[in-house]
């Protein structure tokens, strides 16, 4: 993978350099297909998969215009988090472009899913994300976390949280052609009696923090930052895609806006379970 600077208005575009003509796949909500395991884009029959961690890093680093060159159908998994992408972007440096950032400001609440799993977007002063998970496994169990994307919070609070999966899911991923380079070096693997990774977890609640990373990446397919509050309860990539499609297809739910940050922003209360307040 290679990140190439792009002109104002380009947006985030993937280029499959391994295919004839190096076809382009634009990172937009109407190119996303519902998938429970990763976020996949399809344009004119060309596919790019597992984009969510890179998209989250681009969102967290406020990158609006870039061409992502790939020599295969899947973004490199790196260590299973967004942190390596953040590090490389910081090393390369960024350029402030001579144009205001396009933002999508929520005007009313939109929610998809049901009582067992749902995702919503509602009005709020800045981009913020809150997620709750509840797994029938003692290592994960119930976890809740929220973050507001200001003052380096993405990098400092969630970017290092790694993707995770259960040992019995590995064969399924391989059959789908995903995680072909997968190992304990780039994912948390949860077995019956605990985590297989020798170094353990980076955060006690690393699982839910990674779900926030996924959500940030998935919602950046709106074509810019969303000014509003995202909440997810046992949600998935598929529900994120459905939520974004529902929002963007309804002109009464959002409006174009310029990025204007207020002086003060209320933080999430990470001590309160999300399901109880829904």
pLDDT in tens, 133-147: 999 888 899 999 999
Among 151-155, 172-176, 230-234, 266-270, where is mean pLDDT lowest? 266-270
What residues act catalytically? 237
pLDDT of residue 176 exceeding 60, the answer is yes
250 CB neighbour count, 10 Å cutoff: 12
Residue 192, pLDDT score: 77
Residue 175, pLDDT score: 72
pLDDT of residue 27 exceeding 60, the answer is yes
Residue 173, pLDDT score: 66
pLDDT of residue 124 exceeding 60, the answer is yes
Q: Which residues of 5-17 are buried (b: 16+ CB within 10 A; e: fewer)?
A: ebeeeebbbbbbe
| Domain count for the chain | 1
Secondary structure of residue 215 in the 3-state scheme? helix
pLDDT of residue 276 exceeding 50, the answer is no
Q: What percent of the chain has pLDDT over 70?
A: 88
User: Which is more confidently placed, 108 or 177?
Assistant: 108
pLDDT one-digit tens code per residue, 229-264: 999 999 999 999 999 999 999 999 999 987 655 444
Structure tokens at 229: 């509050």
pLDDT band at 274 (very low <50, low <70, confident <90, very high): low
User: Which is more confidently placed, 81 or 183?
Assistant: 81
If we measure between CA atoms, which residue out of 54, 71, 72 comes closest to residue 63? 54
**CATH number, domain containing residue 89:** 3.30.1700.10
Residue 268, pLDDT score: 52
- Parent domain of 139: 2-277
User: Which is more confidently placed, 3 or 189?
Assistant: 3
């Amino acid at each position: 993978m290679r990140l190439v600077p792009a002109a104002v208005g380009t947006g985030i575009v993937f280029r499959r350099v391994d295919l004839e003509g190096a076809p382009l796949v634009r990172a937009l909500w109407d190119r996303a297909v519902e998938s429970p395991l990763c976020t996949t884009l399809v344009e004119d029959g060309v596919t790019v998969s597992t984009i969510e961690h890179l998209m989250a890093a681009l969102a967290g680093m406020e990158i609006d215009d870039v061409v992502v060159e790939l020599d295969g159908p899947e973004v490199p998994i790196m260590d299973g988090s967004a942190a390596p992408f953040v590090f490389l972007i910081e090393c390369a440096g960024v350029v402030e472009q001579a144009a205001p950032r396009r933002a999508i400001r929520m005007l009313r609440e939109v929610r998809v899913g049901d009582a067992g799993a749902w995702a919503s977007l509602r009005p709020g002063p800045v981009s913020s994300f809150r997620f709750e998970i509840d797994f029938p496994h003692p290592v994960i169990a119930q976890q809740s976390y929220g973050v507001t994307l200001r003052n380096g919070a993405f990098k400092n609070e969630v970017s290092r949280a790694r993707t995770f999966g259960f040992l019995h899911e590995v064969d399924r991923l391989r059959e789908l052609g995903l995680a072909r380079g997968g190992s304990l070096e780039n994912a948390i693997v949860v077995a019956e009696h605990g985590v297989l990774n020798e170094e353990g977890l980076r955060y006690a609640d690393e699982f839910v923090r990674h779900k926030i990373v996924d959500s940030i990446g998935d919602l950046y397919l709106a074509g810019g930052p969303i000014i509003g509050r995202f909440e997810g309860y046992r949600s998935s990539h598929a529900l994120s895609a459905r939520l974004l499609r529902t929002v963007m297809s309804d002109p009464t739910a959002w409006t174009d806006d310029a990025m204007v940050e207020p002086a003060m922003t209320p933080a999430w209360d990470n001590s309160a379970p999300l399901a109880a307040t829904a």
